[in-house]
A and B are shown apart, each in its own frame.
Chain A
Amino acid sequence: MSAITEPATLQRSLQELAERPPERDGRAPRSRGHRVARVFGYIVLVIAAAALLVPFFWMVSSSLKPANDVFSVPVKWLPQTWDWSNYVNIWTHSNIVVWIRNTLVLAVAVTILQVFTGSFAAYGFARVKFRGRDALFLAYIATIAVPWQSYMIPQFIMLSKMHLANTLWAIILLQAFSAFGVFLMKQYYETIPEELSEAARIDGLSEYGIWWRIMVPLSVPAMASLTLLTFVTVWNDYLGPLIYLRNPDLWTLQLGLQTFVSNQYAANYGLMFAGLVISVVPIGIVFLFGQKYFVEGIATSGMKG
């Protein structure tokens, strides 16, 4: 663990990156080779953007096609007749309302728990010095290298014995205490000047008061990152629900859609695509609004060297 990049610098440069207006070239006369490189760069960018977005485009356009038109030769990228019926029928042809409700309950509960316990613990790790702290933090970090798949069995057995398998509690517990949240918040807390809490301490504020009155308000960007990342992770999680939620009334959106899809494969593609679009769109909107925090959160989490 060496060469830790200064988080503050990085944060700043990322911000600059986000806010930098597209610079027009026109400062110095460019060489011919430079122009060729630019054109080449644009070509690569356009191809890559197409590769990234075409599957989404195809998904949305297929959801608006009558069932038989999804596979046509040659491919029709736009529906010939816009068929909105899939978006009407999906609500009655599937249990999607129940799935969305379960997913929302899980995502909200996990996010609240994760942000609260994560930032609380991060303060302990970042600002209170006590014996065993660093060893404990190392244990937290080390588990990032341990895949969940390798200990899902003992975990499942334990939660089954506690009669929590096949309840939403299993997923809440499973997701709410990740090392990632603690790590992200600790990274951010370390960028907040110590003098602030020092001054508050002299004014008689307790450590808990410092956390609540100073650290929490100052770390809103990091908490926003953690909130968004956690929410999206829980919303998209497939394996946890697959193992723990057997009762169809408890299914999440992903689990429900997967079963729905495997039953629909031969039947009605349009309906299936409508379901997928409905599962993707909320996250897409959340992402577009909170993009800055997403990117900063990811970048911060990547800064351990």
Chain B
Amino acid sequence: MTAIATDVDTSPTPPLPRRRSRLRRRNSLIGWSFILPNFLGFALLTLIPVVTLFYLGFTNWNIFGTANWTGLANFQRLLGDTTFHTAVLNTFYYAVLHIPLTFVVSLGLALLLNTKLRGVAFFRTAAFFPYITSIVAIAVVWNLLFSPQYGPINQLLHFVGIANPPTWLQSTTWALPATVIVSTWRDMGYYMVLFLAGLQTVPRELHEAARVDGASVWQRFWNVTMPCLRPTTFFVTVMLTINSFKVFDLILVMTNGGPGNATLVLSQFIYQTAFVQNQFGYASAASIVLFLICIVVTIIQFLINKRRSA
């Protein structure tokens, strides 16, 4: 029994203090030896860069020369930078459209798939296809589907009697909603699976009881399904929010921020400032803003969730 080295100590008498501290040291050693291979990579590529970010953001570093501490100068510049303002506004606009749309569509599909319709297994497979398809393929195909004159989408809209369909990606008004449509199309299978897994945990007896009490479908959805689904809806909302604020590759390949700056988002502003204009210090300041937005929004969501479950 001396070799026991886990938290579950089944020996009836507690070990002597000396032995216990040796045991603890041994456990620490074993534990760290397991974690270390992964942790080295994780620390080097994630933790250190995150910490360094908060230094770089206060410097004027470009790849040439040295980094000089410039205090809050970068942030003051951000405050007056209209391109940055556009990027932030577009990012929020994207999030405001994308979060509720994807939430409702994927929850709706999950509810539908949770019923006993035929073909459900096939549909689940189909819904997942966009999620595993590369951004490049998605962007190219949808760009052409959205072509104003000869694209299938506008041909369809003409067919159903819409005389002047939007010019989609060539229009400053419609380009961003078009990217939202594509990203919802891509993501809904993923979130649908999360919801579907959550729905399996809703006890069937509760539904039966509510039905016996005469609750309508609508009442049962709001008073039985939704409360039971709360852990899932919370997780989905958090993921959707983070993914919306960091949106980048899809927009980069679909519109490259255009037309004009109509679809320029925060991540792309960071990318351009750093890797095209070589202003790494200034771009780091914008990265700090992105970092803080994501962290603050996540914390707020955690607090709301905590209060609701209390």
| A154 with B284: CB separation less than 8 A | yes
| A130 with B32: CB separation less than 8 A | yes
Does B76 belong to the interface (CB within 8 Å)?
A: no
- Set of chain A residues within 8 Å of B126, measured between Cβ atoms: 49, 52-53
Tell me the minimal C-beta distance from A61 to chain B in angstroms. Answer: 11
Q: Which of A127, A150, A202 contacts B290 (CB 8 A)?
A: A150
- Set of chain B residues within 8 Å of A146, measured between Cβ atoms: 46, 50, 291, 294-295
Does A105 belong to the interface (CB within 8 Å)?
A: no
- Set of chain A residues within 8 Å of B127, measured between Cβ atoms: 48, 52
In the bound complex, CA of A276 to CA of B139 (Å): 11
Contact with B along A1-25 (1 / 0, CB 8 A): 0111100011001100110001101
| A154 with B197: CB separation less than 8 A | no
Q: Which of B33, B50, B109, B249 contacts A239 (CB 8 A)?
A: B249
Contact with B along A179-196 (1 / 0, CB 8 A): 101100000000000100
| A305 with B294: CB separation less than 8 A | no
| B42 with A140: CB separation less than 8 A | yes
Tell me the minimal C-beta distance from A224 to chain B in angstroms. Answer: 15
Contacts A49-B126, A150-B53, A150-B287 given; does A14 touch B197 at CB 8 Å: yes
Closest partner residue, chain B, to A143 (CB atom): B46
Tell me the minimal C-beta distance from B297 to chain A in angstroms. Answer: 9
Does B232 belong to the interface (CB within 8 Å)?
A: yes
Contact with B along A188-218 (1 / 0, CB 8 A): 0000001001100110100100010000000
The DSSP consensus for interface residues of chain A is: helix
Closest partner residue, chain B, to A302 (CB atom): B194
Does B79 belong to the interface (CB within 8 Å)?
A: no
The DSSP consensus for interface residues of chain B is: helix
Q: Which of B118, B137, B274 contacts A276 (CB 8 A)?
A: B137
Q: Which of A14, A52, A125, A151 contacts B287 (CB 8 A)?
A: A151
| B238 with A145: CB separation less than 8 A | yes
State the interface size on chain B (CB cutoff 8 A): 112
Tell me the minimal C-beta distance from B228 to chain A in angstroms. Answer: 10
State which residues 254-305 of A face B: CB under 8 Å.
Answer: 254, 257-258, 261, 269, 272, 276, 279-280, 283-284, 287-288, 291, 294-295, 298-299, 302-305
In the bound complex, CA of A41 to CA of B109 (Å): 10
Does A117 belong to the interface (CB within 8 Å)?
A: yes
| A158 with B6: CB separation less than 8 A | no
Closest partner residue, chain B, to A144 (CB atom): B242
| A276 with B140: CB separation less than 8 A | yes
| A124 with B267: CB separation less than 8 A | no
Contacts A13-B201, A38-B117, A177-B38 given; does A75 touch B136 at CB 8 Å: no
In the bound complex, CA of A299 to CA of B200 (Å): 11
State which residues 123-145 of B face A: CB under 8 Å.
Answer: 123-130, 132-138, 140-142, 144-145
Interface segment out of the listed B22-30, B80-88, B164-172: B22-30
Q: Which of B33, B35, B248 contacts A149 (CB 8 A)?
A: B248
Tell me the minimal C-beta distance from A216 to chain B in angstroms. Answer: 13
| A261 with B150: CB separation less than 8 A | no
Give 17 pairs: A residue, B residue, CB < 8 Å, sorted on A.
Answer: A38-B117, A41-B115, A45-B123, A52-B130, A70-B144, A118-B38, A145-B298, A153-B270, A153-B274, A156-B274, A181-B38, A201-B3, A232-B132, A236-B133, A239-B249, A254-B134, A302-B194
Return the 8 tightest CB-CB contacts between A and B, nearest first.
A124-B34, A177-B41, A147-B246, A305-B231, A299-B197, A129-B7, A13-B200, A121-B38
